[in-house]
């Protein structure tokens, strides 16, 4: 049985070094910057442990005694992919799509690693046994894996080993009989402060000379020497759940990871001094496409939430029946159905590794297409909603609690309302809308949807490479080759001149 929310919260009370505003946070389950989000994540575990959705979120693999989180399970048929999608959808709906890095994200990546373990078999270091033990450890504990697999933006024109100092990116500085010592930094540890373990690696290609940086390992978050430097907390800035309903509960946090001479036992190392395996573990296994499976379901859910918000805003403004507003709402529903169709199509076009009975993953081609579509579309969705909402998003009392004030409350109730929507209901709706569209939390989400899956200058040329441009070019060329100057009716110089 997966652990409960209480078990999860208890596990967070360890010696983890989380820094916020110059302070070393003692207990993130009690601190005002983290506690509500920790509870939202605990609720996800409760849903899986003992609720009506237990059988959706967990599975008991054949020949085993324990139910495990479905995201850790390796699917082998199309219907298992569909069942995994139902699990992603259930957890996504619990945060309306605003917890991007819920525990299922990296769990499904780990299921991707074990679907192609040969990628970890380097000549000098063979990580396959460690990988199998790692998958078992994470699955049996229903552990929450955070990850930092991007180097900090220090000088993007230079490779890891060419940076002006050696320890800017995580690298191995010492080898011991029982493990290695690593030093340096990685970004962006989304939800890392809420995790059980952090996996440290590099998803972008490394240069051949970057061998000291070419490694991947996973260690507990409270490992001595690991430091998490948190960004501004939106949860801490929230006045109340009523005033900031999303940022007060779903601020998954992003932290810079610093490894200050961290000891990593050999058994926690997955790739070592191997440029190729360190890159291929993400791309030569289904890890990345599995990420997209989770992320595309969450994205679809988020668009459902935002479209529902648009409908409520239009109704509250009494503009719902106006033809231009109906066009805007129709466009939003069309976009959301594109997002949904991509999930269904990617599952239908699934790919199988090693023939019948082997692990399956969603279509790589459609996963890439989702990457190209989602980041560009998200700002357009927000722009449509802002146009629908108008100035009411801004013309709001600072807090809904102004309604409780004996003098002020009367005025707010009189002027902040619309037909059929009394003040408290309208303020509640518009505060939710601002948190989703315009707050600092909302801006972070816009940046997240654009960048969480990498930078466009990296992935768009990759989509070109994999997209068989030769076939597309040949197809259009066949049209050009089908006619000549002066050929066919009306194509000659005379007929052109006669028009």
**Binding-site residue ranges for FAD:** 153-156, 190
Instruction: Report, in Å, the least distance between residue 360 CB and ligand FAD.
Output: 25
Nearer to ligand FAD, 81 or 287 (CB): 287
Nearer to ligand FAD, 38 or 429 (CB): 38
Nearer to ligand FAD, 283 or 452 (CB): 452
Query: Phi-psi region for residue 265, left (φ > 0), alpha (ψ -120 to 50) or beta?
Result: beta
For the chain, helix (H) and strand (E) counts, in that order, are 17, 14
Nearer to ligand FAD, 41 or 188 (CB): 188
- Binding site, annotated residues: 153-156, 190
Helix (H) or strand (E) holding 437: helix 423-437
Q: How far apart are CA 151 and CA 160, in angstroms?
A: 8
Q: Which residues pair with 220 in a beta bridge?
A: 197
Instruction: Report, in Å, the least distance between residue 220 CB and ligand FAD.
Output: 17
Q: How far apart are CA 168 and CA 154, in angstroms?
A: 8
Of 250, 351, 341, 330, nearest to 300 by C-alpha is: 341
Q: How far apart are CA 244 and CA 242, in angstroms?
A: 6
Instruction: Report, in Å, the least distance between residue 119 CB and ligand FAD.
Output: 19
DSSP 289-308: HHHHHHHHHHHHHHHHHHHH
Q: How far apart are CA 258 and CA 184, in angstroms?
A: 6
Q: How far apart are CA 82 and CA 410, in angstroms?
A: 52
Residue 232 · residue 224 · CB < 8 Å: no
**Spacing of C-alpha 347 from chain mean position:** 19
Instruction: Report, in Å, the least distance between residue 453 CB and ligand FAD.
Output: 7
Residues that bind ligand FAD (CB under 6 A): 101, 147-150, 153, 156, 187-190, 254, 444, 447-448, 451-452, 454-457
Q: SS3 for 344-375, per residue?
A: HHHHHCCEECCCCCCCEECCHHHHHHHHHHHH
User: Could you give the C-alpha distances from 174 to 181, 182, 202, in angstroms and in order?
Assistant: 5, 7, 19
Nearer to ligand FAD, 39 or 444 (CB): 444
Pairing label, strands 145-148, 171-176: unpaired
Instruction: Report, in Å, the least distance between residue 101 CB and ligand FAD.
Output: 6
Nearer to ligand FAD, 147 or 335 (CB): 147
The DSSP 8-state label assigned to residue 404 in this structure reads G
Strands, E, within 55-104: which ranges? Answer: 58-59, 68-69
Instruction: Report, in Å, the least distance between residue 148 CB and ligand FAD.
Output: 5
Which residue minimizes CB distance to ligand FAD? 190
Instruction: Report, in Å, the least distance between residue 78 CB and ligand FAD.
Output: 29
Nearer to ligand FAD, 153 or 478 (CB): 153
Instruction: Report, in Å, the least distance between residue 457 CB and ligand FAD.
Output: 4
Nearer to ligand FAD, 141 or 454 (CB): 454
């Amino acid at each position: 049985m997966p652990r409960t929310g209480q078990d999860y919260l208890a596990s967070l009370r360890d010696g983890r070094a989380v820094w916020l505003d110059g302070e070393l946070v003692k207990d993130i389950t009690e601190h005002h910057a983290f506690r509500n989000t920790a509870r939202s994540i605990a609720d996800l575990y409760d849903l899986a442990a003992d609720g009506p959705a237990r059988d959706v979120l967990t599975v008991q693999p054949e020949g085993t005694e324990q139910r495990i989180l479905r995201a850790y399970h390796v699917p082998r048929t199309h219907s298992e992919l569909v069942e995994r999608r139902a699990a992603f959808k259930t957890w996504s709906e619990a945060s309306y799509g605003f917890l991007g890095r819920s525990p299922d994200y990296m769990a499904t990546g780990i299921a991707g690693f074990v679907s192609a373990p040969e990628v970890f078999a380097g000549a000098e270091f063979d990580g396959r046994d460690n990988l199998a033990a790692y998958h078992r450890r994470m699955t049996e504990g229903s552990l929450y894996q955070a990850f930092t697999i991007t180097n900090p933006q220090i000088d993007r024109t230079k490779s890891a080993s060419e940076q002006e100092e050696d320890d800017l990116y995580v690298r191995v500085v010492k080898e011991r009989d029982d493990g290695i010592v690593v030093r340096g930094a990685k970004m962006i540890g989304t939800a890392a402060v809420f995790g059980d373990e952090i996996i440290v690696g590099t998803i972008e290609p490394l240069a051949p000379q970057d061998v000291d940086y070419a490694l991947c390992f996973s260690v507990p978050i409270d490992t001595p020497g690991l430091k998490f430097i948190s960004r501004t907390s939106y949860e801490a800035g929230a006045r109340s759940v009523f005033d900031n309903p999303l940022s007060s509960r779903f601020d998954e946090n992003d932290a810079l990871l610093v490894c200050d001479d961290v000891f990593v036992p050999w058994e926690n190392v997955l790739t070592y001094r191997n440029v190729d395996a360190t890159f291929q573990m993400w791309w030569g296994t289904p890890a990345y496409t599995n990420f997209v499976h989770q992320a595309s379901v969450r994205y679809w859910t988020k668009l459902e939430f935002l479209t529902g918000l648009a409908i409520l805003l239009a109704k509250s403004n009494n503009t719902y029946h106006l033809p231009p507003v109906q066009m805007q709402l129709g466009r939003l529903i069309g976009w959301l159905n594109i997002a949904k169709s991509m999930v269904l199509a990617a599952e239908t076009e699934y790919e199988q590794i090693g023939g019948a009975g082997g692990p399956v993953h969603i279509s790589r081609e459609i996963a890439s297409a989702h990457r190209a579509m989602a980041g560009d579309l998200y700002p357009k969705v927000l722009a449509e909603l802002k146009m629908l909402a108008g100035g009411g998003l801004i013309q709001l009392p600072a807090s809904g609690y102004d309604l409780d004030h004996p003098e002020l409350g009367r005025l707010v109730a009189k002027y902040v309302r619309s037909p059929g929507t009394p003040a408290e209901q309208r303020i509640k709706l518009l505060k939710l809308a601002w948190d989703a569209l315009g707050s600092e939390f909302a801006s972070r989400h816009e940046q997240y949807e654009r960048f969480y899956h990498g930078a466009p200058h990296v992935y768009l040329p990759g989509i070109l490479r994999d997209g068989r441009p030769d076939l597309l070019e040949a197809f259009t060329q066949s049209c050009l080759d089908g006619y000549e100057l002066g050929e066919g009716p009306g194509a000659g110089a005379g007929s052109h001149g006669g028009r």
